[in-house]
Amino acid sequence: MTIMQKVYWVIATLGNLLAINYMLNASGLFASLLLVCSLIYTVVGYYDIHHSPHTLNRLYPVVAYLRYFLESYRVEIQQYFIANDTEETPFNREQRSLVYQRSKNVRDTIAFGTQRNLLEDNYLSLWQSLHPKAVNDTAKRVKIGGPDCKQPYQACYFNISAMSFGSLSANAIESLNLGALKAGCYHNTGEGGVSPYHLKHQGDIVWQIGSGLFGCRDDAGNFNPESFKAMATRPQIKMIEIKLSQGAKPGHGGVLPAAKITDEIAAIRHIPKDRDCVSPAVNPECTTPKDLLNFVARLRELSNGKPVGFKLCLGNPVEFLGLCKAMIETGITPDFITVDGAEGGTGAAPVEFTNRLGMMCLEGVYFVHNALTGAGLRDKIKIIASGKTASSFDLLAKIAMGADTVNAARTMMLSLGCIQSRHCNTNLCPTGIATQDPARSKAINVIAKSERVKNYHQNTLKSFFELVGSMGLDSPEKLQPHMLKRRTPYGLLMSVGSLIEPLQSNDLVNGKSLAGPWNEWWNMAQAEDFYSEDVYILSPAELSRPRKQG
């Protein structure tokens, strides 16, 4: 027997006898409580030893529950008492504190030097100029709209990324949209459709259409052009985004648990309420590159010429180059492409998908920028980076790598009061943000929280423009990948992207001989089918890139 089994039998026999004897000879509340505790311990321990399905309970009766109790609060204990300011994931305390401070308009500076290890491998940094400049006001918006767009949109550099009503509560959606209105940025609906809470405060909306076609589907789940047009032509809808995949779970459909599906959500999405809402992994309207582009053109026409684009997390590079070939062959180009990062986001997903699939945001943005440039398409298409963004440096890094604007989701939730408890998929969010429990969500004060969203957005954007100016630039458009410096394992600095061959306009279509895998990837790409075998064997870029002869 284990020592706790022996303790159990001692308490169940001798302990109970002593407790009974004590109560008979010394009446009082304490004696009664002692006997009650002894009897409860005996009953619970008997169940654990003889009937519990858990091995720990059988070997360590009663006290095993202490382990389960402590384990249930492990994340909170780690977060509040153990972790330092820079080691937590996905957002460490330094990052969360920065969001909280900026959202509350309180001091966000630090004293006594950095806590970061500046010699850490892959640490990113910038070189400042001795001649700082102020960013021109005319350079603080980005025009999104290609040659076929009739209603281009002037976007902010920093925007609210896709978070669905259903995943988030009504009050959270209202707070984000009102915050977007105050901040002058757009608010992406996520794939759950446009709800009344997205529309209530008149903030600019990007309507995301996922593989479930929520908000524009018929009873059979097929695309409904009439319902799409009725919503897309509303003045508040500024752009339409087709979701092919997302960074949290590339290659996997979305899931909204039945516990979070209310009558209202079921009506908005046009889905049944009695089972989980599962979106397919493949958008039924976009099964091939040309199908996707034809769908883009159709949505643009139905929306009276508003910007239409698509969102994806990069995987096999050949497949994206197939999309570029399809654009060239059909003459149809999206107005924007949103590149999501494998860092994940607000969406819950299987561990293997979150941890192991997809390109990171900076890698994906850099590849898409170069691919579009090499295919002669970059001037027609804007790139939106949707990845982990907490600070103005995160924003700047994505712009430098080739993005035109940036979306953020989780840090916008933090500005609402999210505490990173990671209960988003349980309907038990402690802050009322990621839940459909009205008792929890009503705690969100829409007016107050929208102010925090606005403050975080504006303070981060202000810092971003100051950071750009500190580099001697008067416009974010002048940022280049080589301006980002990465610490190598040898302790030296290198320019980000310097070991990867950047492309010039039309390099791919002109058949130029290019270093690295570009030519082979381009030759393997096909416009008729997304899938392409991953047969190219990658090798370290520093070994494969030819050196210039002196």
C-alpha 391/C-alpha 451 separation (Å) is 18
- Report pLDDT digits (tens) over 294-339: 999 999 999 999 999 999 999 999 999 999 999 999 999 999 999 9
DSSP-assigned letter for residue 105: T
C-alpha 19/C-alpha 363 separation (Å) is 69
Q: What is the mean pLDDT of residues 166-183?
A: 94
Specify whether the CB–CB gap between 348 and 478 falls below 8 A: no
Q: Which residues make beta-bridge pairs with 241?
A: 208, 309
pLDDT at 251 over 80: no
Residues 6+ apart with CB under 8 A from 300: 148, 149, 240, 306, 307, 308, 335
C-alpha 62/C-alpha 3 separation (Å) is 12
Q: What is the mean pLDDT of residues 139-157?
A: 96
Specify whether the CB–CB gap between 269 and 260 falls below 8 A: no
pLDDT at 79 over 60: yes
pLDDT at 543 over 70: no
Percentage of the chain exceeding pLDDT 70: 97
C-alpha 496/C-alpha 517 separation (Å) is 18
Comparison of pLDDT for 226 and 346, the residue scoring more: 226
Alpha carbon 337 to its chain centroid, in Å, reads 16
> Of 107-121, 203-217, 462-476, 479-493, where does mean pLDDT reach its minimum?
107-121
Residue 541: predicted pLDDT:
63
Q: Where are the beta strands (DSSP E) in 362-437?
A: 382-386, 405-408
C-alpha 416/C-alpha 99 separation (Å) is 10
Residues 6+ apart with CB under 8 A from 409: 160, 161, 162, 163, 345, 346, 386
Average model confidence (pLDDT) across the chain: 90
| Global model pTM greater than 0.95 | no
CA distances to 209, 311, 521, 532 from 529, in Å: 21, 18, 14, 8
If one counts every other C-beta atom within 10 angstroms of the C-beta of residue 261, the result is 20
Structure tokens at 26: 């010394």
CB neighbour burial string for 446-467, b if at least 16 within 10 angstroms, e if fewer: beebbbbbbbbbbbbbebbbeb
Specify whether the CB–CB gap between 509 and 328 falls below 8 A: yes
pLDDT at 549 over 50: no
pLDDT at 155 over 50: yes
User: Residue 28's pLDDT band (boundaries 50, 70, 90)?
Assistant: confident
Specify whether the CB–CB gap between 103 and 456 falls below 8 A: yes
- Report pLDDT digits (tens) over 341-392: 888 766 667 777 777 888 899 999 999 999 999 999 999 999 999 989 999 9
- Report pLDDT digits (tens) over 47-75: 999 999 999 999 999 999 999 998 888 87
Q: Is 423 exposed, middle or buried (0-12, 13-18, 19+ CB in 10 A)?
A: middle
C-alpha 82/C-alpha 98 separation (Å) is 19
Q: What is the mean pLDDT of residues 107-123?
A: 85
Residue 539: predicted pLDDT:
76
Residue 40: predicted pLDDT:
95
pLDDT at 437 over 90: no
C-alpha 142/C-alpha 389 separation (Å) is 19
List the one residue out of 170, 311, 174, 166 whose CA is nearest residue 240.
311
Q: What is the mean pLDDT of residues 221-237?
A: 95
